[in-house]
């Protein structure tokens, strides 16, 4: 998606050969126009997949996932990184290791918000090693729901996430695929 790649080039900050900071338009400050266009792009790409719900992991995936759900006219389900004080039972849960933070957390989703008839589109901001995505997939599979695909804003293609997901027969659609961040330079896969 040219619009996203342009923003990455203009405002993204390469912190090292593995970390790209996009907090001025995706992570901390969110550009609603960009998110609307991203939602349209994902909705168009996955329009024939019979999507019944969009799912994401809190928190950076919420804005693009919400816009995608709005475009597809389906509910958004948010997977929590820690159990809620209110929702302690009737949850599916799995442990996930965060690449960015170098820690692990329990990812949960309420059983009442997902069922075996659902065809779920997962949306996330980054794909690196694929740990968050595979955690989300594990939760959805615990409910015997179908994974319709995975929409990623920024894929770091030099890390193994895509390969891991494709080996698991998951369709991955990334809007910006980064080939390299070496030397502070952002290089995309065309």
Q: Is 132 annotated as a binding residue?
A: yes
Integer angstrom CA distances of residue 85 from 10, 57, 88, 111: 41, 18, 6, 16
Buried b (16+ CB within 10 A) or exposed e, 111-122: eebbeeebbbbb
Instruction: Note the CATH architecture for domain 2-79+113-188.
Output: 3-Layer(aba) Sandwich (3.40)
d(CA 53, CA 168): 21
d(CA 171, CA 6): 25
Beta-ladder partners of 188? 178
Mean pLDDT of 97-116: 84
Mean pLDDT of 14-24: 94
pTM to 2 decimal places: 0.93
d(CA 36, CA 127): 20
Q: Is 131 annotated as a binding residue?
A: yes
pLDDT of 87: 62
Between 78-82, 148-152, 174-178, 182-186, the lowest mean confidence (pLDDT) is in 78-82
Q: Is 27 annotated as a binding residue?
A: yes
Mean pLDDT of 93-97: 85
pLDDT of 82: 74
pLDDT at 172 > cutoff 90: yes
Q: 75 with 53: CB under 8 angstroms?
A: yes
Q: Is 16 annotated as a binding residue?
A: no
Q: Is 128 annotated as a binding residue?
A: yes
pLDDT at 113 > cutoff 70: yes
pLDDT of 106: 86
pLDDT of 52: 98
Beta-ladder partners of 120? 53, 147
């Amino acid at each position: 998606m040219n619009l996203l790649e342009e923003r990455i080039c203009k405002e993204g900050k390469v912190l090292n050969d593995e970390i790209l900071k996009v907090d001025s338009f995706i992570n901390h400050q969110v550009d609603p126009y960009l998110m609307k266009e991203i939602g349209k792009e994902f909705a168009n790409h996955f329009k024939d997949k019979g999507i019944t719900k969009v799912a994401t992991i809190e928190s950076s995936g919420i804005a693009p996932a919400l816009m995608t759900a709005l475009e597809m006219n389906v509910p958004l389900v948010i997977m929590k990184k820690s159990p809620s004080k209110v929702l302690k039972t009737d949850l599916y849960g799995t442990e996930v290791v965060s690449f960015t933070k170098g820690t692990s957390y329990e990812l949960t989703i309420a059983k009442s918000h997902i069922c075996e008839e659902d065809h779920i589109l997962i949306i996330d901001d980054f794909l690196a090693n694929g740990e968050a995505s595979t955690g989300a997939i594990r939760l959805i599979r615990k409910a015997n729901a179908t994974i319709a695909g995975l929409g990623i804003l920024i894929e770091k293609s030099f890390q193994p996430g895509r390969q891991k997901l494709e080996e698991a027969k998951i369709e991955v659609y990334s809007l910006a695929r980064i080939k390299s961040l070496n030397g502070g330079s952002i290089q995309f896969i065309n």
